[in-house]
Amino acid sequence: MDRRHQKRIRIRIVILAFFFFLWAAGLTFRLIQIQVVDHPRLKAQVLHQNQNKDTILPTRGTIYDRKGKIFARSLPAPSVFLYPFEDETPTAQIEKINKLKGILNLSYQEIQRIKARTEKGDLFIWIKRKIDQQQAERVKSLRLPGIFLKMENKRYYPHENLAAHVLGGVSIDDEGLSGIEWQYNSRLRGKRGERLILRDAKKREYNFEILKEPEPGKDLVLAVDETIQYIVEKELKKVILQHQASWGSVIVAVPSTGEILAMANYPTYDPNKYPPSWLESARNRAIHYNFEPGSTFKIVTAMAALEANRIALNDTIDCGEGVIHLAGKTIRDHKKFGWLTFPEVIQHSSNVGAIKIGQLVGESFFFEKMKAYGFGERTGIDLPGEEKGIFRKLRDWSRISLASLSFGQEISVTAVQLLQTMNTIANRGLVTTPKIVKKILLSKNEVRERPSHHKRVLSEKAASAMVKILESVVEDGTGTMARINGYRIAGKTGTAQKFDTKINAYSSVLHTSSFVGFAPVDKPAFSMIVVIDEPKGAYMGGEVAAPLFRQIAEHLFLYLRIPPQKEGSQSLITARLRRGH
């Protein structure tokens, strides 16, 4: 090979080497640019396209009644969402949504909400949450790209409106909104988890990695008894419809512990459809509503008189012609009584007699005892939104206030406050805080029992005297329609005129009827308050509320297997108990 040819070869090699060097340098530069300079941006873009972090909602705790029957639980439910493709137009997205409209029963408002989200360019859009399995299968069968199903938890209340006001309800995100669901939300909801979802280029989910395991919520055991709750709701509804009343509330409790066996209101609602369309029906009037107690408050007047040692059981009071005039105001009895003993004043519910007893007690002592019994303060029941009533300070009393308060005017209370007062008498002077939750199940082996707290606010001697007086109310007084043959029952009726703001005076046609009592007298197994608002026709507490107390109590004696204490229906009741009726 001549020199000239060798030289050309060397030149070609140098040129090739130069171009190879340039290619290698360019490639190296590009690799450095991709893996070093642009690495954070490109990584974020890849992650955005192919993976996403997703919240794992925990299973909400189950709510049981005192005997282990389920009141509320969470079960898996599929939800439908849209995960748009990159550069997919809003029009294309809405076309897919329209194909789901009939299956998911999407309303015009829901379609507009989804459309607004697509126009904003949102990457995750809920279409319909917590649908049934049949709807989910129909969605799957369409195989629409970008439409996915995600399992969530849906709250179910198997007994529908049973104990609705106690349980409350939850939001679409399983957050408690009212009742026990709200009060114990932090216990029930658990702790959220997180997972990493990996997707292919077509955004089909193909793998996921758990970053943080969810922690299930704690279970609750209520003091409420499902059977008693059912009995109470059934009987309450019948009475409300019978008397065409505005609303009614009933609470049943264990006096010694404060445990609430039943708390019912009518009208009611279904917590499966929370919030109800008529929000007023979701109001727990047993703790949310203030009302003038009327004659049921005479038990407070009597308690104060006994504590003040200003009157004895055999003392008599002149109730005259059933009329008393005070500071330009005339107060009447429902009939003329003449002379009555102290117990008979309460037994026959004399306003005039109660006023004269209140005058013996005096303003300062009466005010202090009302405070001691808990009026003007919340009872502390473990439900949200409890009212504390309306109880004016002593300095705001008028010349007529002592008289008015003596028979239950110029003060507003809640049903649970009145029941707590009756429980104090049943407990022979010890007050206890009412409670809905009996236990919190922290784990399989750890249970937190909610203790009962007792405090003496009434002497045992005065409480025992009150028991005898209240038993006479049922046996021979205004509460005879609460009497049950063979059983010893103590209680007090109440008929309160409602204050009409339109005429700025007490109405002659609007009333709140009530009865509060406990049984059996010697060893109380249950206490109960009945409140019926604005009944039509008959309106006296002894005519409307006392019969409802009796109807429920008859069921309770049988259900709780409480034998009669007196001669009379011994054989009949015992036979029914044996048959399990």
Domain CATH number, residue 64: 3.90.1310.10
Q: Pick the last residue of a domain from 222, 239, 254.
A: 222
Q: Pick the last residue of a domain from 222, 241, 257.
A: 222
Q: Which residues pair with 264 in a beta bridge?
A: 250
Residue 577 has a pLDDT of: 43
CB atoms within 10 A of CB 340: 20
Q: Identify which of 409, 417, 416 has the alpha carbon closest to the alpha carbon of residue 392.
A: 409
Residue 573 has a pLDDT of: 44
Q: Which amino acid is at 166?
A: V
Q: What is the mean pLDDT of residues 178-196?
A: 91
Contact indicator for 219, 64 with CB cutoff of 8 Å:
yes
Cα 3 to Cα 7, 10, 11, distances in angstroms: 6, 11, 12
Contact indicator for 251, 436 with CB cutoff of 8 Å:
no
Please report, for the domain that includes residue 542, its CATH number: 3.40.710.10
The alpha helices in 312-414, defined as continuous H runs, are 342-347, 351-361, 363-372, 401-406
Residue 506 lies in a domain: yes
> Same domain, yes or no, for 230 and 199?
no
| Burial (CB count within 10 angstroms: exposed 0-12, middle 13-18, buried 19+), residue 570 | middle
Which band of pLDDT confidence, cut at 50, 70 and 90, is reported for residue 21? confident
> Quick one: what percent of the chain has pLDDT higher than 70?
88
> Same domain, yes or no, for 338 and 487?
yes
Q: Range with the lowest mean pLDDT among 45-49, 184-188, 229-233, 262-266?
A: 45-49
Residue 420 scores a pLDDT above 90: yes
Percentages (nearest 5) of helix, strand, coil residues in the chain: 40, 25, 35
SS (H, E, C) 144-175: CCCEEEEEEEEEECCCCCCCHHHHCEECCCCC
Residue 45 lies in a domain: no
Residue 35 has a pLDDT of: 66
Residue 33 lies in a domain: no
pLDDT top residue among 321 and 210: 321
Contact indicator for 255, 427 with CB cutoff of 8 Å:
yes
Residue 372 scores a pLDDT above 90: yes
Q: What is the mean pLDDT of residues 358-382?
A: 96
Residue 198 has a pLDDT of: 64
> Same domain, yes or no, for 426 and 558?
yes
d(CA 497, CA 410): 11
Residue 50 has a pLDDT of: 52
Residue 580 scores a pLDDT above 60: no
Cα 351 to Cα 258, 319, 467, distances in angstroms: 31, 9, 20
Q: Pick the last residue of a domain from 205, 222, 239.
A: 222
Residue 12 has a pLDDT of: 75
Q: Which two tokens mark 352?
A: 């005039």
* Helix, strand or coil, per DSSP, at residue 120: helix
- Structure confidence by residue, pLDDT tens digits, 538-573: 999 999 999 999 999 999 999 999 999 876 544 444
Q: Which two tokens mark 564?
A: 């009669």
* Helix, strand or coil, per DSSP, at residue 95: helix
| Burial (CB count within 10 angstroms: exposed 0-12, middle 13-18, buried 19+), residue 242 | middle
Q: Which residues are CB-neighbours of 181 under 8 A, at least 6 positions away? A: 63, 72, 155, 167, 168, 169, 170, 188
Residue 393 has a pLDDT of: 95
Q: Among all chains, which residue has been given the structure tokens 């303060």?
A: 377
* Helix, strand or coil, per DSSP, at residue 445: coil
Q: Identify which of 265, 235, 232 has the alpha carbon closest to the alpha carbon of residue 249.
A: 265
Residue 27 lies in a domain: no
d(CA 368, CA 361): 11
Residue 131 lies in a domain: yes
Residue 479 scores a pLDDT above 90: yes
> Same domain, yes or no, for 541 and 564?
yes
Contact indicator for 407, 329 with CB cutoff of 8 Å:
no
d(CA 249, CA 513): 11
Residue 28 scores a pLDDT above 90: no
Residue 579 scores a pLDDT above 60: no
Contact indicator for 227, 559 with CB cutoff of 8 Å:
yes
> Same domain, yes or no, for 106 and 163?
yes
Residue 382 has a pLDDT of: 95
- Structure confidence by residue, pLDDT tens digits, 263-314: 999 999 999 988 776 677 889 999 999 999 999 999 999 999 999 998 999 9
Q: Which residues pair with 556 in a beta bridge?
A: none
pLDDT top residue among 164 and 145: 164
Contact indicator for 141, 155 with CB cutoff of 8 Å:
no
Residue 55 has a pLDDT of: 78
> Same domain, yes or no, for 205 and 307?
no
> Same domain, yes or no, for 393 and 486?
yes
Residue 508 has a pLDDT of: 84
Q: What is the mean pLDDT of residues 80-108?
A: 87
Which band of pLDDT confidence, cut at 50, 70 and 90, is reported for residue 206? very low
| Angle, CA 225 vertex, CA 280 and CA 562 arms, to 5° | 125
> Same domain, yes or no, for 186 and 83?
yes
Residue 124 has a pLDDT of: 83
Residue 281 has a pLDDT of: 83
Residue 277 lies in a domain: no
Strands across the sheet containing 260-266:
260-266, 247-253, 526-533, 505-519, 490-500
Residue 581 scores a pLDDT above 60: no
* Helix, strand or coil, per DSSP, at residue 558: helix
> Same domain, yes or no, for 297 and 348?
yes
- Structure confidence by residue, pLDDT tens digits, 148-159: 898 889 999 999
Residue 571 has a pLDDT of: 43
d(CA 26, CA 34): 12
Residue 166 has a pLDDT of: 98
The total number of structural domains that make up the chain: 2
d(CA 482, CA 540): 13
Range of the domain at 80: 52-222
Q: What is the mean pLDDT of residues 140-154?
A: 90
> Same domain, yes or no, for 441 and 465?
yes
> Same domain, yes or no, for 128 and 166?
yes
Residue 38 has a pLDDT of: 58
Q: What is the mean pLDDT of residues 196-209?
A: 59
Which band of pLDDT confidence, cut at 50, 70 and 90, is reported for residue 448? confident
Residue 6 lies in a domain: no
Q: What is the mean pLDDT of residues 418-423?
A: 98
pTM tops 0.85: yes
Residue 42 lies in a domain: no
> Same domain, yes or no, for 137 and 170?
yes
